[in-house]
């Protein structure tokens, strides 16, 4: 018989899961030691459903409210827009990384595909590629 959620929480507390000194890998080991695989799956499913419900659909972002940049300035989200999106969806969007790195390479590859396969002109996508200093834009 599976443990109830309350007893799982008590077991985690007893094992030290909630101690502030524990890092992510230590907490993961505690969860693996204390719970069974079906319990872990149930926990992940609950987190996924909660996150999905939290999003509540599309987030409304507008240039006029200062949440997005206009095309002329690079067409990305502002810090205010990223904060709103993260708050409403539980995501973790980060600021652009135009100086280089793995995130830049990944972004440039993805957004180039968007521009190539767009039905129209895709001006916001092109502006974001330019803002991230992607090659050939």
pLDDT one-digit tens code per residue, 48-96: 766 655 555 578 888 899 888 888 888 888 999 999 888 887 788 888 8
Mean pLDDT of the chain: 83
Q: Are the C-beta atoms of 17 and 40 separated by less than 8 Å?
A: no
Please report the pLDDT score of residue 116 as a whole number: 92
Q: How far apart, in whole angstroms, are the C-alpha atoms of residue 82 and residue 101?
A: 20
Q: Are the C-beta atoms of 114 and 107 separated by less than 8 Å?
A: no
pLDDT at 43 over 50: yes
Q: Are the C-beta atoms of 84 and 59 separated by less than 8 Å?
A: yes
Q: Are the C-beta atoms of 22 and 30 separated by less than 8 Å?
A: yes
> φ and ψ at 77, to 5 degrees?
-85, 145
């Amino acid at each position: 018989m599976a443990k109830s959620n309350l007893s799982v929480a008590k077991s985690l507390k007893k094992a030290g899961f909630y101690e502030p000194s524990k890092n992510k890998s230590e907490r993961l080991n505690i969860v693996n030691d204390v719970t069974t695989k079906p319990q872990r799956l149930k926990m992940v499913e609950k987190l996924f459903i909660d996150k999905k419900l939290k999003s509540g659909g599309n987030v409304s972002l507008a240039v006029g409210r200062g949440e997005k940049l206009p095309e002329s300035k690079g067409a990305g989200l502002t810090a205010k827009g990223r904060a709103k999106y993260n708050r409403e969806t539980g995501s973790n969007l980060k600021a652009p990384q135009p100086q280089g790195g793995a995130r830049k390479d990944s972004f440039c590859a993805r957004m180039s595909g968007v521009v190539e396969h767009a039905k129209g002109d895709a001006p916001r996508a092109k502006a974001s590629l330019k803002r991230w200093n992607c090659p050939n834009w």
